[in-house]
């Protein structure tokens, strides 16, 4: 783990309530693995006091950069979403456990919800660029509305098959992402599932995978 003052290079909007922060953090970029996170100090004072954890997304080791997907849900994340480019951000990382890579040649299903797309997007990128392992990656992505599917084109572009569900039907199929999962598990060719998103969604994904006899990793 490194503690550094990372320069904010870009702060770009992503749909209505999301921002992607790109930080120059070469120490973290060099070490971070899919599933790990960075702990970000929100302000310079004691209010808000606690750091916020964000999954490390798409590090660029050559440029020394990492990306963080932020959803504006409260005072702390609102402060981060309004940071000016060029400021220094206090960051700890990488922290946490990384995803366990499957054996070569496996059919992999990734199930994302909301900001849970961030580590899975990074993991899909890593697996698809491993030309020797011949992974086959499928992606499922769900949200209440199309406005709650940040980076869905980036995620889908790294999957051989990609399916979307929204509760209001504004994108993809109407329903829950677990409805899509049921159909995928019934195909009988899924060998391992990785999921990240709301707790209730992950709990159901894990239970459905277990019932189908498929190994599931939960972030």
DSSP calls for 159-209: -SEEEEEETTSSSSEES-HHHHHHHHHHHS---EEEEES-HHHHHHHHHHH
Enter the tokens of residue 177. 């992402």
Enter the tokens of residue 136. 């086959």
Reported as a single tens digit per residue, the pLDDT across 116-173 is 999 999 999 999 988 889 999 999 999 999 999 999 999 999 999 999 999 999 999 9
Q: Is the peptide bond preceding residue 94 cis, with omega within 30 degrees of 0? A: yes
Enter the tokens of residue 10. 């870009």
Largest Cα–Cα distance of the chain, in whole Å?
A: 53
For the beta sheet containing 2-14, the strands, ordered from the edge strand earlier in sequence to the opposite edge, are 52-55, 37-40, 88-95, 2-14, 18-24, 65-71, 57-60
For residue 141, what pLDDT is reported? 98
Q: Does the predicted model carry a pTM greater than 0.85? A: yes
199-211 vs 177-187: helix crossing angle, rounded to 10: 20
**CA 178, CA 71: separation in Å to the nearest integer?**
22
For residue 114, what pLDDT is reported? 93
For residue 47, what pLDDT is reported? 74
* C-alpha 152 chain-centroid distance: 11
For residue 49, what pLDDT is reported? 78
For residue 167, what pLDDT is reported? 96
* Weakly modelled stretches of the chain, pLDDT under 70: none
């Amino acid at each position: 783990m490194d503690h550094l003052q990372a320069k904010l290079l870009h702060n770009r909007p992503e749909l209505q309530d999301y921002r992607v922060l790109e930080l120059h953090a070469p120490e973290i970029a060099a070490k971070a693995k899919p599933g790990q996170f960075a702990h970000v100090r929100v302000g310079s004072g004691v209010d808000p006091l606690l750091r916020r954890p964000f999954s490390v997304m798409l590090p660029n080791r050559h440029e020394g950069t990492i990306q963080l997907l932020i959803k504006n849900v409260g005072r702390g994340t609102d402060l981060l979403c309004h940071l000016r480019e060029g400021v220094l951000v206090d960051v700890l990382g990488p922290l946490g456990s990384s995803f366990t890579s499957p054996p070569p040649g496996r059919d992999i299903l990734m199930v994302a919800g909301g900001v849970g797309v961030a580590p899975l997007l990074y993991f899909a990128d890593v697996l698809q660029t491993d030309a020797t392992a011949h992974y086959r990656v499928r992606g499922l992505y769900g949200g209440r509305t199309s406005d709650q599917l940040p980076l869905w084109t980036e995620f889908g572009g790294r999957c051989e098959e990609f399916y979307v569900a929204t509760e209001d039907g504004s994108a993809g199929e109407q329903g829950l992402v677990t409805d899509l999962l049921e159909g995928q598990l019934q195909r009988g060719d899924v060998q391992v599932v990785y999921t990240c998103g709301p707790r209730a969604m992950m709990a159901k994904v894990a239970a459905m995978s277990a019932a189908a006899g498929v190994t599931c990793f939960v972030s």
